[in-house]
Amino acid sequence: MSNVRVVGTGITPFGNVPERTGRDLFAEASIAAFEDSGVPRDDVEAVFYGNFMGELAEHQGHQGPLMAEAAGVRAPATRYESACASSGVAVRDAVYRIRSGEADVVLVGGAERMTNLGTAGATEALAIAADDLWEVRAGMTFPGAYALMAKAYFSKFGGDREDLAHVAVKNHENALPNEKAQYRSAITVEDALEAPWVSTPLGLYDSCPISDGAAALVLTSEAYAEENDLDAPVAITGTGQGGDRLALHDREHLARSPAARKAGEEAYADAGVGAGDIDVAEVHDCFTIAEVLAIEALDIEGVGEGISAARDGRTTADGETPINLSGGLKAKGHPVGATGASQIAEVASLLAGEHPNSEHVEDATTGLAHNAGGTVASATVHVLEVVA
């Protein structure tokens, strides 16, 4: 089975740019990815595009061909929607398309325009990723849902708000040199603990921002990369996907992420690696508790032990397994349709030694990207390795 090479990556700065359209953002990311790859647009055989709230934010459906046009590509295009895991799912299908031999070159990515809706509008739009009948109509929002998960975790395994504050401090620190990050400002544990409440026990610094942005990847078969003498040392060698019941009250666990565990196990097996082989990871930290749940589900930390990982330095930039060296969703930002593809772009850059934080993982050969939808009713995991 052929490895799928990451031959080009492009990420727009994430932030607050309500005047920019989704097509404008994806065009920018795609231009950067093509320039990075050296692949002609005419060689692209398919476009896979992740987007969650285009109908609400831009009154725009049928975005696949629209975004192919924005990228300057004439190829069949498909939009993927899996809430915040939309482009993670798109990447997974791109990997399968190339592995099957049906395509040698695929443009994959995603974008989201959110800030033009305002805080209340974006919160309402995001809420449709929950169960409308039993959660949204009862007033559930995602800060409230993750607050319930945090309370369940504290009750079952221990830990407190100060542990979560260390996650926020770490990720803000990681974002400082990342020019694509929305928040390039250091915070202290005291800042996090004294910030306004969002939903107890989560405060402002436990929560990712509302963001606009896009990310794009040019993926090719190994044969295409070699035949065209492309500089592509990093490959996606493992892919996995898991799911869970949509509504929190229907789940067996509130303090665990079975969907992420299933996706991780599948990706590890696919790549022929284990959790102990992971040198660096980007995980879905839409809230600080989400990072804790993710690293436990992926066996980077033991169950009940992830809560202390940032505080004790195990997941900091110079720790045993650095987590979210990009700044994560927490500080880099979370334009939901773009997040999964951007995580893979960050890991590929880190492994290739081209990231502003690569100095912390100079000997890294294996990385992981974990993308989640909603309260982790959907999850994808991809393993990336240096192969040349």
Task: Single out the catalytic residue among 172, 334, 370, 382.
Answer: 334
- Residues in Cβ contact with 196 at an 8 Å cutoff, skipping those fewer than 6 apart: 203, 204
DSSP assignments along 271-331, one per residue? HT--GGG--EEE---SBHHHHHHHHHHTTSS-TTTGGGTTTTTSSSTTSSS-B-TT-HHHH
Query: Phi then psi for 260, rounded to 5 degrees?
Result: -70, -35
Alpha helices by DSSP H, listed for 176-257, are: 189-194, 222-227
Which residue reads 């260390």 in tokens? 166
Task: Single out the catalytic residue among 84, 284, 355, 382.
Answer: 84
Is 84 in the active site?
A: yes
Is 334 in the active site?
A: yes
Q: Given the DSSP bridges, would you call strands 197-199 and 202-203 parallel, antiparallel or unpaired?
A: antiparallel
Return the C-alpha torsion angle 283, 287, 289, 293, nearest 10.
Answer: -30
Task: Check: CB of residue 204 under 8 Å from CB of residue 358.
Answer: no
Q: Which residues pair with 104 in a beta bridge?
A: none
CB atoms within 10 A of CB 136: 16
DSSP letter (8 states) at residue 84: B
Q: Distances in Å between the alpha carbon of 24 and those of 31, 41, 221?
A: 11, 17, 28
Residues with catalytic roles: 84, 334
